[in-house]
Structure 1
Amino acid sequence: MSDDSALFDKGLPIRRAVLGAEYVDGSMAKADDFMMSFQRATTAIAWGWAWGDPTLDRKTRSLLNLAMLTALGKTPEIKLHVKGALNNGVSVEEIKATLLHATAYCGIPAGLDAFKAAHEVLVAEGALPAKKA
């Protein structure tokens, strides 16, 4: 994108609200000139253009992301977006149902990876109790 300023400015507060300002600001602070081009692109395209479209609410977008990331097998992004889903008001039961649905269409190995990633985050965030040894 040659001039992504408007979409970047629109996307940055959305990205911070969903993923957490600490994570987003940390990613931006660590970016050198090379990586900043990616930070600008993802903020403008994913967050300004896609997430900034008012047609779908943030909760719905979080559920879609979890299903798509399961299909793609992107475990680190699943972890990030489980936390974002919680920030967007998605319940543990809705996360579970989404991952089960994705498992049916994407296969058991993809579903297992997604469940493990989600479980780790849900326990860390206090949304699920830690299993006692």
Structure 2
Amino acid sequence: MSDELYERGEQIRREVLGEAYVKNSIAATDAFSEPMRTFAVRNLWGDVWARPGLDRRARSIVNLALLAAANRPNELKIHVRAALNNGVKREEIAEIFLQVALYAGVPTGSDATRVAKQTFAEIDAEQKLS
């Protein structure tokens, strides 16, 4: 039996987050975490991310602001990469976190900026190796 939402979700997830991230995520999944991963792939990626109302770039911008404001550094790191994949520039990410600082507090914006800088450094190091 085909699960179109799940299949579409995996495709979008690979395009947005990258093949390496998805492979690592699948490898790290066990019986306990499988229901959550399946739920996210089907509903978050296969449904919401597939909707026509916002393009992927806009969704990434919203995610960066929300994840920063909600103090979710692990997810923020993932979505900094995704935002770059979706065409958001590093300078724009800095501006997003300034906006977050204004509305959610300077410590929140500063933490998000630190996460982004760390992620940029990792990406730069990976690109030097390839």
* Fold conserved between structures, TM > 0.5: yes
Cα distance in structure 1, aligned partners of 2:94 and 2:42: 30
| CA offset digits 1:85-130 (Å, max 9, x no partner) | 111111111111111111111111111110000011112223xxxx
How many corresponding residue pairs?
Answer: 125
Q: TM-score, normalised by structure 1?
A: 0.87
Matched, 1:5 2:3: yes
What letter corresponds to residue 111 of structure 1 in structure 2? Answer: G
Q: Which residue of 2 aligns with 1:47?
A: 45
Q: Which runs of 5+ in 1 are unaligned?
A: 127-133
**Corresponding residue number in structure 2 for 1:69:** 67
The CA distance in 1 between the partners of 2:70 and 2:43, in whole Å, is 19
Partner of 2:122: 124
Residue number in structure 2 paired with 1:36 = 34
Specify which of 21, 24, 28 is matched with residue 23 of structure 1. Answer: 21
Cα distance, 1:43 vs. partner?
0.6
Give the 3-state SS of the residue equivalent to 2:115 in structure 1.
Answer: helix
TM-score (norm 2): 0.89
8 Å contact kept, 2:97–2:110: no
- Long gaps (5+) in structure 2: 125-130
Contact in 2 for aligned 1:4/1:44 (Cα 8 Å): no
Q: Deviations over 1:4-48 (max 9, x none)?
A: 922111111111111111111221122112211111011111111
Corresponding position of 2:105: 107
Q: Is the Cα–Cα contact under 8 Å of residues 103 and 110 in structure 1 kept in the other structure?
A: yes
1:73 alignment partner, SS class: coil
**Which secondary structure state, in structure 2, belongs to the residue aligned with residue 34 of structure 1?**
coil
Q: What is the match of residue 96 of structure 1?
A: 94
Is structure 2 residue 56 aligned with structure 1 residue 58? Answer: yes
1:55 partner letter: G
Give the AA of the match of 2:74. Answer: P
